[in-house]
């Protein structure tokens, strides 16, 4: 039952982008087109889930027993950047088409603060392994939801007349704000 | 490039937040007040400065293929140092900035500058760039923090100037996005990009 | 840019060296800051305890497990002139709107509540953060609240606690934390605690 709360909480109530401000860089950078947003979401889901699992293991079986939790940030980021590197290599071999489609987004995963953020949050909430994995997948879905919605709106926005000063980033940001306002309606759901 | 040029670029022409749109996560996440924005800006400037410094020194010893992980380890170390020092000596700011301190590691601004500038220039230029980008970043953070604090809490740097609770929306997520959107438009207009 | 070749051994060596230096630097800073960080934590805890119990001169701390145990709670028995004057319990809940909330609840020896202060939380500013004493006097209603006679739940939930407008989840979670402290106190408060044995 509590898994439902984790899932709904992560996707809607505490949406990683619109409520917790993580993952804004790719959010702004990739959302000009719906197709790239979908690709980005897929990559994020994969890396985020894998990273949460691996960092959970590292935190609980290495950092805590050896009392070196101050190495948390460094070890997590090393895990994430290695995972991204690995995913790149594997994808190139296994599915070159997908690799091409994702293009530059893959290396960009390393600096996606949403990924490091979710791994740190999973530890903070003291989830165990399965809960952590569900948590990560749900947040990735939340990210995908937010970015694809946003991209859909931005594609339409490009076709519209707008004051020159607001075109591009400023308008996009205000739209994101309105989306965030809408998502606030989910508050109190869980 | 002479140092004054670098300074001007970092603070104005290539302002990391308003022009380059880098490092937006903390920009939106911690600017609930001018002081928090300022504190985060200072912390980021410290990390930027130190990591640009170290990267420009060791750049010739790093094989090309491992440069990104190497930069990241350097950055992550300075972030952890900042975290520990803050928790020990500035606990209130530490509480306010919370999760966003370790997230300085993935502030694409810092990695971006290491990759684009510090690894390709001499040390003096690199630290000037770090300082300039940091100041530009701090400026943006403090401005947005001030904007959200004035409208959202009717105060500035903690000093209340009107009775009342303020417009809550500006202290919350939507206000951050909307505030940044308008501030960006204004900044771009002022510096003549539009 | 790099004057070193990207051979496998070079790459591994460089990364290893950099990480080793980093770990060393961090260990040093950690050692320097460990003391102040601990002291800061203890100071804040002491400050919180003083807010929720009557004046005392000695503090004795014990840990007890709450009924549906996951984590133990810290019980701070406050004595003045050898007699128990109050018990400060550091409690928590995970049911806050944004998750974890911790609080310090002070009880009289007869189990009435003296006061409650919030410690850590990530509740919504302007709404859930009204559990903080300096944001609102909502939590003043817990002063002299008698859990042996009244229910630690919101009035809207068949209890006796006034809620916070638009922050029901936070308020209910805060009650959950206080209730946890009370239930654990009830189970573990014994005769021997009422005065200090030397």
- Give the pLDDT band (50/70/90) at residue A144: very high
Chains that touch B (3 or more CB pairs under 8 A): A, C
The CA distances from residue B153 to B66, C137, C150, in Å, are 47, 18, 36
Give B194→chain C minimum CA distance, Å.
36
Domain count, chain A: 1
Any domain includes B109: yes
CA–CA separation, A61 and A66 (whole Å): 9
Q: Which residues of C touch B69 (CB under 8 A)?
A: 15
Cα separation, B91 vs C150, whole angstroms: 37
B chain contacts of residue C42, beta-carbon cutoff 8 Å: none
> Across chain C, what does the average pLDDT equal?
85
Does residue A170 form part of some domain? no
Q: Name the pTM for this structure.
A: 0.78
Residue A184 has its nearest CB partner, among B102, B103, B174, at B174
Tell me the C-alpha distance between C159 and C161, whole Å.
6
Contacts of B68 in chain A (CB under 8 A): 81, 107, 110
The token pair that represents B115 in the structure block: 């990759």
CB neighbours of residue B8 within 10 Å? 13
Residue C3 pLDDT:
58
Cβ–Cβ < 8 Å for A71, A79: no
Instruction: Supply the pLDDT for residue C198.
Output: 46
DSSP A33-100: SHHHHHHHHHHHHHHHHHHHHHHHHHIIIIITTTT-GGGHHHHHHHHHHHHHHHHHHHHHHH-HHHHH
pLDDT tens digit string along B19-51? Answer: 888 888 888 888 888 888 898 899 999 999 999
Report the chain B residue with the minimal C-alpha distance to residue A172. Answer: B181
Contact call for B59 and C29, based on CB within 8 A: no
Check: CB of residue B129 under 8 Å from CB of residue B113. Answer: yes
* pLDDT tens readout for residues C50-74: 888 888 888 888 888 888 767 788 8
The residue of A15, A67, A188, A189 whose CB has the most chain C CBs within 10 angstroms, and thus the best one to mutate to test that interface, is A188
DSSP-assigned beta bridge partners for residue C102: C92
Tell whether C47 lies on the interface with B, counting CB pairs under 8 A. Answer: no
Between C176 and C5, the higher pLDDT residue: C176
How long a stretch of residues is chain C? 198
Is residue B7 one of the residues assigned to a domain?
A: yes
Backbone torsions φ then ψ of C148, nearest 5 degrees: -75, -20
**Structural domain contains residue A111:** yes
CB contact under 8 A, C169 and A188: yes
Burial class (CB in 10 A: 0-12, 13-18, 19+), C148: exposed
- The whole-number pLDDT of residue A190 equals 57
What does the longest C-alpha to C-alpha distance in chain C come to? 78
Residue span of the structural domain in which A115 resides: 2-165
Domain ranges of chain C: 49-194
Q: Is C156 on the interface with A (CB under 8 A)?
A: no
Within-domain flag for A177: no
How many residues make up chain A in this entry?
190
Work out the pLDDT band at C1, boundaries 50, 70, 90: very low
Contact yes or no for A74 and C22 at CB 8 A: yes
Residue-wise pLDDT tens digits, A79-127:
888 888 887 888 788 878 777 766 666 777 777 778 888 888 888 777 8
**Domain enclosing residue B112, as ranges:** 3-11+26-145
Mean pLDDT of A128-157: 91
The CA–CA distances, whole Å, from C9 to A85, B62, C15, C17 equal: 18, 12, 10, 12
The answer to whether B93 touches B132, Cβ cutoff 8 Å, is no
Chain A residue numbers touching C99 (CB-CB < 8 A): 124-125
**Total structural domains in chain B?**
1
For residue A179, being part of any structural domain is answered with no
Q: What is the pLDDT of residues C85-132, one digit of tens each?
A: 899 999 988 888 777 888 999 999 889 999 999 888 878 766 788 888
């Amino acid at each position: 039952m509590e898994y439902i709360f984790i899932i709904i909480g992560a996707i809607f109530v505490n949406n990683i982008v619109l409520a917790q401000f993580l993952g804004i860089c790719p959010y702004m950078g990739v959302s000009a087109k719906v197709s790239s947003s979908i690709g980005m979401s897929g990559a994020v889901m994969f890396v985020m889930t894998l990273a949460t699992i691996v960092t959970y293991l590292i935190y609980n079986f290495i950092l805590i027993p050896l009392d070196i939790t101050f190495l948390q940030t460094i070890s997590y980021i090393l895990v994430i950047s290695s995972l991204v590197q690995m995913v790149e290599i594997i994808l190139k071999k296994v599915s070159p088409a997908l690799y091409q489609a994702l293009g530059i987004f893959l290396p960009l995963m390393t600096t996606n603060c949403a990924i490091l953020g979710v791994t740190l949050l999973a530890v903070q909430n003291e989830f165990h392994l399965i809960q952590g994995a569900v948590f990560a997948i749900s947040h990735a879905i939340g990210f995908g939801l937010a970015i694809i919605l946003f991209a859909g709106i931005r594609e339409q926005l490009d076709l519209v007349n707008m004051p020159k000063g607001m075109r591009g980033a400023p308008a996009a940001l205000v739209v994101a704000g309105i989306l965030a306002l809408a998502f606030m309606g989910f508050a109190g759901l869980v | 490039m002479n140092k004054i040029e670098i300074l001007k670029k970092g603070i104005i022409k290539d302002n990391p937040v308003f022009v380059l749109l880098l490092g937006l996560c903390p920009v939106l996440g911690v600017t609930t007040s001018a002081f928090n924005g300022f504190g985060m800006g200072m912390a980021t400037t410290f990390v930027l400065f130190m990591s640009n410094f170290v990267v420009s020194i060791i750049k010739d010893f790093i094989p090309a293929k491992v440069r990104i992980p190497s930069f990241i380890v350097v950055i992550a170390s300075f972030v952890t140092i900042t975290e520990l020092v803050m928790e020990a000596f500035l606990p209130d700011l530490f509480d306010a900035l919370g999760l966003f301190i370790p997230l300085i590691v993935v502030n694409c601004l810092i990695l971006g500058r290491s990759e684009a500038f510090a690894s390709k220039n001499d040390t003096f230029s690199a630290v000037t760039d770090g300082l300039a980008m940091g100041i530009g970043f701090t400026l943006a953070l403090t401005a947005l923090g001030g904007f959200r604090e004035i409208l959202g809490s009717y105060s500035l740097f903690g000093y209340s100037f009107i009775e009342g609770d303020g417009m809550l929306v500006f202290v919350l997520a939507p206000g951050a996005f909307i505030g940044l959107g308008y501030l960006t438009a204004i900044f771009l207009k002022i510096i003549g990009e539009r | 840019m790099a004057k070193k070749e990207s051979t496998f051994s070079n790459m591994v060596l460089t990364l290893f060296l950099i990480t080793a230096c980093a770990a060393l630097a961090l260990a040093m800073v950690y050692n320097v800051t460990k003391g102040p960080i601990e002291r800061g934590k203890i100071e804040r805890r002491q400050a919180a305890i003083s807010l929720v119990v009557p004046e005392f001169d000695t503090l004795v701390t014990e840990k007890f497990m709450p009924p549906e145990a996951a984590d133990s709670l810290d019980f701070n028995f406050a004595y003045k002139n050898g007699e128990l004057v109050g018990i400060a319990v550091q409690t928590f809940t995970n049911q806050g709107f944004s998750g974890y909330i911790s609080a310090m609840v002070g009880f009289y020896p007869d189990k009435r509540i003296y006061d409650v202060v919030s410690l850590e939380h990530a509740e919504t500013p302007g709404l859930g953060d009204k559990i903080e004493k300096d944001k609102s006097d909502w939590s003043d209603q817990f002063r002299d609240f008698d859990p042996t006679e009244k229910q630690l739940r919101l009035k809207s939930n068949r209890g006796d606690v006034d809620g916070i407008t638009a922050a029901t989840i936070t308020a209910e979670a805060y009650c959950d934390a206080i209730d946890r402290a009370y239930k654990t106190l009830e189970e573990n408060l014994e005769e021997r605690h009422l005065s200090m044995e030397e």
